[in-house]
Amino acid sequence: MKRLRGSVKFREDKDGMKYYTQDDVVFTSGLDDKDSMQWDDKALYHLALCANSPWSDDEINYSIYSSELPEGLFEWVCRKKIVGYEGITSMIYGYGQTEQEALEDCIKYFNDIQSEYNKDDDYF
């Protein structure tokens, strides 16, 4: 099952760029493979860069909520929201069977995309 793992939205951009994946290796712009494109490393660097560029520490926050799965089951979702310069807002998502697992997955995913796509720890 594909899941939303990240997004970058500019102030004037209504929808922004969304990053969906099933395996944390291949990322696409949508849930449906027919109507979405695959993101390349440059686009994933953009997500990592924006997520690594908060306006201040006060502009980073986490929210955790439950989400219903198609099978009628529930899981926890953790969203890390990073508001950066010029109104650029990035979000990183983690998932788990408990709130703690979702938080840990979110933190791990943020660290993974930084180490894979932003090896020089760039920010703006």
* 44-60 pLDDT per residue, tens: 999 999 999 999 989 99
Higher pLDDT, 66 or 34: 66
Residue 12 has pLDDT above 70, yes or no: no
Cα 26 to Cα 3, 11, 74, 107, 119, distances in angstroms: 12, 27, 25, 20, 19
Average pLDDT of the chain, as a whole number: 89
The model's pTM: 0.88
3-state class (DSSP) for residue 106: helix
Residue type, position 34, single letter? K
Tell me the pLDDT tens digit for each residue of 88-124.
999 999 999 999 999 999 999 999 999 999 999 999 8
